[in-house]
Amino acid sequence: MNSQPIFVECYSGSRSDERPRSVTIAGNIHAVARLLSESIEETTNPGCGRERLRRYRVLTEDGLVLDLIRTDDGRWSLSTL
């Protein structure tokens, strides 16, 4: 999986970074119109242990469908599967 670092502004409810509200990619801000799906994935990396990824698929107001990934340490990236 390839990924590109991004900045994501979120709505924070009962837990931090609960729902993406906007995504900044290469200086361009894309407002999120709708959350299409959300999932949690656990991966096991040799020597690193387990890592939990939160995946969000969003539709932006300008019609883009983006796959966003948030790691346990709070880093966001754009999935480019």
pLDDT category of residue 3 using cuts at 50, 70 and 90: low
Boundaries of domain holding 9: 3-76
Q: Is residue 81 part of a domain?
A: no
Among 72, 62, 58, residue whose Cα is nearest residue 9? 58
In a domain, 64, yes or no: yes
pLDDT at 44: 77
Q: Is residue 51 part of a domain?
A: yes
Q: What's the full length of the chain, in residues?
A: 81
The pTM score is: 0.79
Per DSSP, 41 falls in state E
pLDDT at 13: 63
Number of domains in the chain: 1
Residue-wise pLDDT for 19-76, tens only, equals 899 999 988 999 999 999 999 998 777 776 788 889 999 999 999 999 999 988 888 9
What b/e string do you get for 2-21 counting C-beta neighbours within 10 Å, with b at 16 or more?
ebeebebebeeeeeebeebe
Q: Which residues of 53-73 are buried (b: 16+ CB within 10 A; e: fewer)?
A: bbebbbebeeeeebbbbbeee
pLDDT at 1: 47
